[in-house]
Structure 1
Amino acid sequence: DKKQIPTCMPSKCLDPPLHENHLVLKEIPNEVGVVRFSCKDGHVLEGSSVLKCLPSQQWNDSFPICKLVFCSSPPELTYGEPIFVPSLYFGSTVKYTCVDGFLLKGDSVITCNASGMWSPNFPNCSPIECQQPEEILNGIVDVQGLTFLSAALYTCKPGYELIGNSTLICGADGYWQGGKPICKPIRCSKAKEIPNGRYSFQSLHYGQTITYTCNRGFRLQGQNVLTCLETGEWNSNPPSCMEITCDPPQGIDNGFVEGADYSYGAMIIYSCMPGFQLVGFAMQ
């Protein structure tokens, strides 16, 4: 039999523990027995990246290993809710939220990337701001601030009363809480009737007046013009109408007076005794 011609084969070393050490193997062209190691994403190589198989069928160095990349602890946000960090390894995520009244600026979720850094950049919590509160007709608004829990104070001009909430609060949703009030003209109570008199007016609102007059035969006692104050009250009590009466008539010598009614419109008659003649008006 013809004997087979022998061949020379490269020395063979033990297979690298690729799976156990999470290694990626790449042979180097034109270099027999030389291999290069790298790691999958999220891992970092520890040890020699290039090994050579020696004629003794031993590797010239120990095998490297790929360790999982980990990130540093992410910071808590000022005005942020406490964060839950399940792990710090590659691919881990952290979710940020803000406390009431603050708005998250940036991405809420960050991820530990292959380079051991958190990405994207850390967000921050900014105070929520409300828009300028609306003005109200015949009123004034005093804005204490526009951030969360700031107040806007409403008041009315003289002669008007506030209907609704006088204070609005900037809410966590960026809207004023409480509802816009209105300013309603102050109105005095209806004028009181007075016996034997009457009144006239155009309006019962603040600053307006009411005028009282008496019927014939009666005299006004008190203030005839009343003004509606900003408190919703009249500046004085209503007047009264007093019956007009005359003083008892003066007697005359050698004569007498007939009539005992001295009220407005009543008449008296002067007469003389027999033997005397009346000079002047008999009826008054």
Structure 2
Amino acid sequence: MVFWFVCYLVVVWLISASDESCPELPFVENGIIVIKEVEGQILGTCLCIKGYHLVGEKTLFCNASVEWNAPVPTCRLGHCPDPVLVNGEPSSLGPVNVNDKITFKCNEDYILKGSNWSQCLDNHTWMPPLPVCKSRYCGPPGNPAHGYFEGRDFNSGSTITYHCEDKYHLVGTRDQQCVDGEWSSALPICELIQEAPKPIPQTAFEKALFAFQENKELCKAIENFVQRLKENNLTMEELKYSLENKKAELEAKMLS
């Protein structure tokens, strides 16, 4: 404490002796400011004690406006939180000083996900973020609804094959491989196969269409048309399908 008080008095005395019009610099906790005159200009250099790092401008000078060119810097504790790598090992296990870099390595059967190095920044954070070590082996894959997979080996390099139940078809990748702890593709899905509507019997089809021939009033004809569809248990979708079939038959006859 006596040492820092003496340093503070020396700084104040030097400033006052060199240029009485320059404002006094405040005390820097965990550091000192060394004042000197260079070519008629007052310069202040801030130094931090061991274990602390400087945040801000290291060198200050009194400008023409009789003001210091930048705010007084601070001295912060000079290391980042200890790096932790589960199933791996960083190159340094102890406190890492600001601006220092470390590297990472995973244990056998584990693969590094993320950057293999990181640097301790001024704000005591790691950048890039610390990586993780992930197992090279994949866990059991999921089953899609109405589907299943074949394969019992989930180790790195193994493959599985997906299948769907009857009346369903697979959408996605059928064969997948375990690559560095992850399956090579997203889980596929099993979609219901849409069955085509059954063709409408010709008699029922004709009865529905005759409604337009029997009545010249459009509204009345439409009403009769809908009524006959209901009487014959027909839907508009089935009628559309039958019309398309009829059109295809006529086109085929014209081409033959």
Query: In proportion to residue count, which structure has more helix?
Result: 2
TM-score strictly above 0.5: no
TM-score normalised by length of structure 1:
0.30
Larger radius of gyration: 1
